[in-house]
Amino acid sequence: MWKVTCHTIMSYPGDKAEKVQEDFDKFFSRIGNAVIRWAHVDRNVFDLCINALKTNGETAAAIFYKSSNIKDHLMSAGALFRYALREANKNEWKLSLIQ
């Protein structure tokens, strides 16, 4: 965990230094948990993109991870989903015309 610097600790009297260290530890622990949870969300969006592209992970990764920010990941996923749904609907419409 991150440690409060001596300068910061010295600026708080007595037990207050321990409280500051506890607060720092909680704060960074929560940030770590948020990053881990978001990584799971990002991975699931990537898995959905693999299915939308009907390809392997390596090919999907070349598209999905071209950018490292989540906004681009979600925009790419949205575009892929719209495309996949259009293609699925085309196939469904073709089947209904044949029958």
Contacts (Cβ under 8 Å, ≥6 apart) of 48: 77, 81
Tokens found for residue 71: 């906004």
d(CA 4, CA 64): 38
Residue 9 has pLDDT above 70, yes or no: no
Rounded (10°) angle between helices 70-98 and 16-53: 30
Predicted TM-score of the model (pTM): 0.62
- Range scoring the smallest mean pLDDT among 15-19, 25-29, 49-53, 79-83: 15-19
d(CA 67, CA 85): 24
Would you state the pLDDT for residue 81?
Answer: 82
d(CA 12, CA 52): 56
**Structural domain boundaries in the chain:** 16-98
